[in-house]
Chains A and B, each alone.
Chain A
Amino acid sequence: MSKAKLIRGPVYVLEDNIDTDLLIPACYLNLVPTIPEEYKKLGSYALAGLPDSFPKFASNPDGSTPYPIVIGGRNFGCGSSREHAPIALGAAGASVVVAQSYARIFFRNCVATGEVFPIESETRLCKEFKTGDEAEVNIEANTVTRLSDGKIFPLKPIGAVAPVIDAGGMFAYARAIGMIKK
């Protein structure tokens, strides 16, 4: 995960039980993430399953997102094992999700792919931010700062998967510890 550990920009705010069908609807699962053009396409459909009352996530003209930070509530990423979900967020240009808790496979897929950092918040941030607010996530200091008033919210340390994240994903980790050849 060769991504910056300081992420600054507008946030996109979601609540509890954001499922993988919202993150990437099944009609786009015909796209194969390892094919570069299709990887990019997946990004343009990130969060396309949200009801139409939500602002479009990948709203830049080139199909990327103006929101590098996604904030969620509990059980973020529940549902299917489709790796297309974290990939869509990452391909759109998001770098980090900050949620109260994660569904297991989504969390694992974030770590394994290195597409986005899945960070847990200590508090219910989806009540503290609204979409478009500017924030700064500091992954080393475990904080997120609301830039409008400088208020700092604590994040949970990344925990047992830190070595995999630090290495840059599952394959990089396995190479680093000699599980597979360089």
Chain B
Amino acid sequence: MTITEKILARESGASIVQPGDNIWVNAGILLTHDVCGPGTIGIFQQEFGKDAKVFDREKIVILPDHYIYTADVKAHRNIDILRAFVKEQNLPYFYDPGTPSYCGVCHVALPELGHVRPGETIFGTDSHTCTHGALGAFSSGIGNTDAGFIMGTGKLLVKVPPTLRFVLDGKMPSYLSAKDLILHIIGDITVDGATYCAMEFTGSAIEALSIEERCTICNMAVEAGAKNGIIAPDQKTFDYVNARTKKPYEPLYSDRDAKIQAEYRYDVSKLEPVVAKPHLPDNKALARDCRDVKVTQVYIGSCTGGKLEDFIMAAQLLKGRKVAIKTLIVPATRHVEQGLIDTKIDGQSLRAIFEAAGVEPIAPPSCAACLGGPIDTFGRTHGNEVVVSTTNRNFIGRMGSKDSQVYLASPYTAAATAIKGTITDPRDL
């Protein structure tokens, strides 16, 4: 069996499962946030009754992150709904905006907080829940109804996905990042190339990646339609997880002879920086072939490109240089925000590097303009902006305005573009 099949088998009490089997799987963690949490709670209360108790207080994690720094009245009302529910149910893992426990973007915070453990199952009311497969968990996005069901029962009916294996070998060239790798893959297999499948990433180039970079790859599995992305855990994973949680876990691994649906091989040493042009994540082009594209704003943030290492990459290029266009910096979490101060390149903090380069005042952590959001959202587009963004989606209207155009890129390419004002291959600086 594959790692995905083994985790699903163990959590359903079966010794063997096969792709296509519909099985009831135990939820190790149920994750929700401010946009889908209130609806999930609504379903839970409608279906299980006003006095119902959640299946397991320890397994529910609520990380508001989408609409935090806004005057929108309903957005605040929604967080109040979460607060009331947390109080009523006495839930221990609620990271409340406006208090010291607030974190920021749920998919960066969940592993940071030690809620992601190899071999476990995670279901979340957000499609990028697939991020957490980077630590060897089965992790998948679901809707409010399924989440309400889990809240009451701790289980979900899951169809076992077939596995597509991506073997990435070779040495990473300078200025190539995990974002480029996943944009290459999605460009090749297209936005529905992995529909219903597990995407398993393996090979020496994956092993060489940090945990954060692995998260970037699994984060975008859903952009190819996948149910989950997954990377076998190794010593790096254990070191990361053990530093954040004392809870025991049991990792699982794919068998050598596991049946898979297809295998794709890449030599990463031959790959070049890419962008995804508007309006689909599979609209791949080499960054150097887009030199003529004039850009009006650069956005570095989100669960894909707002982690500490993303800002380190950007700062490497921005150090000692000036941005030519509006450049927005949104750390994904409080932890990342603090990291901008604590992390230094040649004695200068990332924050100081960005400020000296002339970026906009750095925003507090949240999803911000990654998904447009309420009208007063930081960085939201309002006209025909041309944006180079480290986020994961470039659909029409995704960052706010239907008339704006979004190019998805790595933090290196985004920073190089900020300096030049046109799409720039970071190797050309």
Contacts and interface: CB of A to CB of B under 8 A. Distances in A.
B46 interface: yes
B299 interface: no
A170 B149 contact: yes
Nearest to B196: A104
B225 A112 contact: no
A154 interface: no
Interface in B360-409: 371-375, 393, 395-398, 400, 402
A74 interface: yes
Contacts, number: 142
Contacts of B75: 30
B81 A49 contact: no
Contact of A22 (B38, B42, B395): B395
A27 B87 CA distance: 28
A66 to B, nearest CB: 23
Contacts of A27: 372-375, 400
B16 interface: no
Contacts of B191: 17, 75, 78
Given A109-B143, A171-B149, A104 B372 contact: no
Interface residues of B, number: 56
Nearest to B224: A78
Nearest to A102: B195
B397 A25 contact: yes
B47 interface: yes
Interface string B337-379: 0000000000000000000000000000000000111110000
B373 A26 contact: yes
25 contacts: A17-B192, A21-B372, A21-B396, A22-B397, A26-B371, A27-B374, A27-B375, A30-B35, A30-B67, A33-B42, A35-B42, A75-B191, A75-B192, A79-B127, A81-B141, A81-B142, A83-B145, A102-B195, A104-B195, A109-B145, A112-B149, A160-B20, A160-B22, A171-B145, A180-B152
- Counting from the closest, the 7 A-B pairs by CB-CB distance are A34-B42, A83-B143, A30-B74, A109-B143, A75-B192, A112-B145, A81-B141
Interface of B: 20, 22, 24, 35-36, 38-39, 42-43, 46-48, 66-67, 72, 74-75, 78, 81, 124-127, 129, 141-146, 149, 152-153, 155, 157, 159, 191-192, 195-196, 222, 225, 227, 280, 371-375, 393, 395-398, 400, 402
Interface of A: 17, 19, 21-22, 25-27, 29-35, 49, 51-52, 74-75, 78-84, 101-105, 108-109, 112-113, 160, 164, 169-171, 174, 179-180
